[in-house]
Amino acid sequence: MHRKLIILTLMLMGLNAQADKRVTGLLEQAHQYMKAYSDWNIDAMSAMHHEAIQFNDPTATEAFKRSFAKQGKQEVADFLKGIFAEQRPEYSVFKISQHFVSGDHVVIQSTFESLLPKNWYGERAIGPVLVAIPITTILVFEGDKIISHTDYADYHSYQQQVGLQLAPATEKPATDQ
Protein backbone atom coordinates (compact mmCIF):
# COMPACT_ATOMS: atom_id res chain seq x y z
CA MET A 1 0.00 0.00 0.00
CA HIS A 2 2.83 2.39 0.93
CA ARG A 3 4.57 1.65 -2.38
CA LYS A 4 1.37 2.38 -4.39
CA LEU A 5 1.02 5.73 -2.60
CA ILE A 6 4.61 6.66 -3.49
CA ILE A 7 4.06 5.70 -7.15
CA LEU A 8 0.79 7.67 -7.28
CA THR A 9 2.48 10.70 -5.73
CA LEU A 10 5.31 10.57 -8.27
CA MET A 11 2.83 10.25 -11.14
CA LEU A 12 0.85 13.26 -9.91
CA MET A 13 4.04 15.28 -9.53
CA GLY A 14 4.95 14.42 -13.13
CA LEU A 15 1.51 15.47 -14.39
CA ASN A 16 1.72 18.72 -12.42
CA ALA A 17 5.16 19.46 -13.88
CA GLN A 18 3.81 18.89 -17.41
CA ALA A 19 0.85 21.18 -16.72
CA ASP A 20 3.16 23.87 -15.31
CA LYS A 21 5.39 23.58 -18.39
CA ARG A 22 2.35 23.98 -20.69
CA VAL A 23 1.12 27.05 -18.75
CA THR A 24 4.59 28.60 -18.81
CA GLY A 25 4.89 27.90 -22.54
CA LEU A 26 1.50 29.44 -23.34
CA LEU A 27 2.30 32.53 -21.27
CA GLU A 28 5.65 32.97 -23.01
CA GLN A 29 3.99 32.69 -26.42
CA ALA A 30 1.19 35.07 -25.40
CA HIS A 31 3.70 37.67 -24.18
CA GLN A 32 5.69 37.37 -27.43
CA TYR A 33 2.45 37.82 -29.35
CA MET A 34 1.45 40.88 -27.33
CA LYS A 35 4.92 42.37 -27.92
CA ALA A 36 4.40 41.92 -31.67
CA TYR A 37 0.89 43.44 -31.27
CA SER A 38 2.42 46.44 -29.44
CA ASP A 39 4.97 46.89 -32.25
CA TRP A 40 2.19 46.42 -34.81
CA ASN A 41 4.39 43.71 -36.32
CA ILE A 42 1.70 41.87 -38.26
CA ASP A 43 4.19 39.45 -39.84
CA ALA A 44 5.37 38.31 -36.38
CA MET A 45 1.76 37.99 -35.20
CA SER A 46 0.80 36.07 -38.32
CA ALA A 47 3.66 33.60 -37.78
CA MET A 48 1.95 32.62 -34.51
CA HIS A 49 -1.52 32.29 -36.09
CA HIS A 50 -3.15 28.99 -36.98
CA GLU A 51 -4.29 28.78 -40.62
CA ALA A 52 -7.91 28.95 -39.42
CA ILE A 53 -7.39 31.88 -36.99
CA GLN A 54 -10.50 33.80 -35.99
CA PHE A 55 -9.98 37.44 -35.03
CA ASN A 56 -12.80 39.41 -33.44
CA ASP A 57 -13.26 42.66 -31.56
CA PRO A 58 -16.99 43.09 -30.97
CA THR A 59 -16.40 46.32 -29.04
CA ALA A 60 -14.57 47.89 -32.02
CA THR A 61 -17.30 46.66 -34.36
CA GLU A 62 -19.85 48.52 -32.25
CA ALA A 63 -17.73 51.67 -31.78
CA PHE A 64 -16.57 52.11 -35.36
CA LYS A 65 -19.64 50.70 -37.16
CA ARG A 66 -17.68 48.23 -39.29
CA SER A 67 -16.86 44.58 -38.82
CA PHE A 68 -13.78 43.64 -36.83
CA ALA A 69 -14.47 39.91 -37.29
CA LYS A 70 -12.14 38.12 -39.68
CA GLN A 71 -11.22 34.49 -40.31
CA GLY A 72 -8.22 32.81 -41.88
CA LYS A 73 -4.55 33.64 -41.57
CA GLN A 74 -4.28 35.81 -44.69
CA GLU A 75 -7.59 37.65 -44.16
CA VAL A 76 -6.65 38.48 -40.56
CA ALA A 77 -3.16 39.67 -41.58
CA ASP A 78 -4.55 41.84 -44.40
CA PHE A 79 -7.19 43.30 -42.09
CA LEU A 80 -4.70 44.15 -39.34
CA LYS A 81 -2.27 45.68 -41.84
CA GLY A 82 -5.12 47.81 -43.20
CA ILE A 83 -6.08 49.33 -39.85
CA PHE A 84 -3.15 51.74 -39.89
CA ALA A 85 -2.03 51.09 -43.48
CA GLU A 86 1.05 53.25 -44.01
CA GLN A 87 0.14 55.53 -41.09
CA ARG A 88 1.33 53.45 -38.14
CA PRO A 89 1.22 55.13 -34.74
CA GLU A 90 4.45 56.72 -33.55
CA TYR A 91 3.88 54.92 -30.25
CA SER A 92 1.72 51.99 -29.23
CA VAL A 93 2.04 49.48 -26.43
CA PHE A 94 -0.05 46.94 -24.55
CA LYS A 95 0.94 47.24 -20.89
CA ILE A 96 -0.03 43.91 -19.37
CA SER A 97 -1.34 44.12 -15.82
CA GLN A 98 -2.78 40.63 -15.33
CA HIS A 99 -3.03 37.32 -17.13
CA PHE A 100 -4.08 33.77 -16.51
CA VAL A 101 -4.16 30.47 -18.36
CA SER A 102 -7.10 28.08 -18.29
CA GLY A 103 -6.65 25.07 -20.54
CA ASP A 104 -5.77 26.39 -23.99
CA HIS A 105 -7.03 29.91 -23.19
CA VAL A 106 -4.78 32.81 -22.21
CA VAL A 107 -6.66 35.83 -20.88
CA ILE A 108 -4.70 39.08 -20.77
CA GLN A 109 -5.78 42.31 -19.12
CA SER A 110 -3.78 45.31 -20.28
CA THR A 111 -3.84 49.01 -21.00
CA PHE A 112 -3.46 49.92 -24.64
CA GLU A 113 -1.61 53.19 -25.10
CA SER A 114 -1.19 54.77 -28.51
CA LEU A 115 -0.19 58.02 -30.09
CA LEU A 116 -2.65 58.03 -32.98
CA PRO A 117 -1.57 58.92 -36.53
CA LYS A 118 -1.66 62.71 -37.02
CA ASN A 119 -3.57 62.62 -40.29
CA TRP A 120 -6.56 60.84 -38.70
CA TYR A 121 -7.78 64.14 -37.25
CA GLY A 122 -6.08 66.74 -39.43
CA GLU A 123 -6.32 70.35 -38.30
CA ARG A 124 -8.73 69.48 -35.48
CA ALA A 125 -5.91 67.81 -33.52
CA ILE A 126 -4.73 70.33 -30.93
CA GLY A 127 -1.50 68.36 -30.62
CA PRO A 128 -0.54 64.70 -30.52
CA VAL A 129 -3.61 62.53 -29.83
CA LEU A 130 -2.77 60.01 -27.11
CA VAL A 131 -5.19 57.37 -25.85
CA ALA A 132 -4.88 54.87 -23.00
CA ILE A 133 -7.71 52.37 -22.63
CA PRO A 134 -8.27 49.09 -20.81
CA ILE A 135 -8.42 46.04 -23.07
CA THR A 136 -8.94 42.35 -22.47
CA THR A 137 -7.41 39.99 -25.01
CA ILE A 138 -8.39 36.33 -25.09
CA LEU A 139 -6.09 34.03 -27.03
CA VAL A 140 -7.02 30.40 -27.67
CA PHE A 141 -4.23 28.05 -28.68
CA GLU A 142 -4.41 24.89 -30.72
CA GLY A 143 -1.05 23.25 -30.18
CA ASP A 144 1.47 26.07 -30.43
CA LYS A 145 -0.63 28.27 -32.76
CA ILE A 146 -3.29 30.85 -31.95
CA ILE A 147 -6.63 29.70 -33.34
CA SER A 148 -8.67 32.58 -31.85
CA HIS A 149 -7.89 36.17 -30.85
CA THR A 150 -10.70 38.22 -29.32
CA ASP A 151 -10.35 41.74 -27.93
CA TYR A 152 -12.73 43.67 -25.71
CA ALA A 153 -11.71 47.32 -25.33
CA ASP A 154 -13.20 50.38 -23.68
CA TYR A 155 -13.92 52.44 -26.79
CA HIS A 156 -16.21 54.76 -24.83
CA SER A 157 -13.13 56.02 -22.98
CA TYR A 158 -11.24 56.05 -26.28
CA GLN A 159 -13.83 58.35 -27.88
CA GLN A 160 -13.89 60.61 -24.82
CA GLN A 161 -10.09 60.91 -24.78
CA VAL A 162 -9.92 61.67 -28.48
CA GLY A 163 -12.73 64.23 -28.18
CA LEU A 164 -10.89 66.12 -25.43
CA GLN A 165 -7.84 66.46 -27.67
CA LEU A 166 -9.61 67.88 -30.73
CA ALA A 167 -10.65 71.43 -31.44
CA PRO A 168 -14.40 71.83 -31.93
CA ALA A 169 -15.55 71.20 -35.48
CA THR A 170 -16.22 74.43 -37.27
CA GLU A 171 -19.31 74.92 -39.33
CA LYS A 172 -18.85 75.78 -42.95
CA PRO A 173 -20.07 79.30 -43.68
CA ALA A 174 -23.35 79.48 -45.54
CA THR A 175 -22.98 80.43 -49.15
CA ASP A 176 -25.40 82.71 -50.95
CA GLN A 177 -26.83 81.20 -54.06
Question: What confidence tens digit (pLDDT) does each residue in 24-61 have?
Answer: 999 999 999 999 999 999 999 999 999 999 999 999 99
Residue 175 lies in a domain: no
Residue 167 confidence (pLDDT) above 70: yes
Q: pLDDT tens across 76-91, in order? A: 999 999 887 777 788 8
What percentage of the chain reaches a pLDDT higher than 70?
85
Residue 85 lies in a domain: yes
Arithmetic mean of pLDDT over the chain: 87
| Pairing mode of beta strands 145-153, 91-102 | unpaired
Residue 176 lies in a domain: no
What is the domain-level CATH number for residue 126? 3.10.450.50
Contact 33, 25 (CB under 8 A): no
Residue 26 lies in a domain: yes
**Domain range enclosing 152:** 2-164
Residue 22 confidence (pLDDT) above 90: no
Residue 23 lies in a domain: yes
Residue 170 lies in a domain: no
Q: How many domains, the chain?
A: 1
Residue 91 lies in a domain: yes
Residue 20 lies in a domain: yes
Contact 152, 134 (CB under 8 A): no
The reported pLDDT for the residue numbered 118 is 74
The reported pLDDT for the residue numbered 97 is 96
The reported pLDDT for the residue numbered 1 is 60
Q: What is the mean pLDDT of residues 153-167?
A: 94
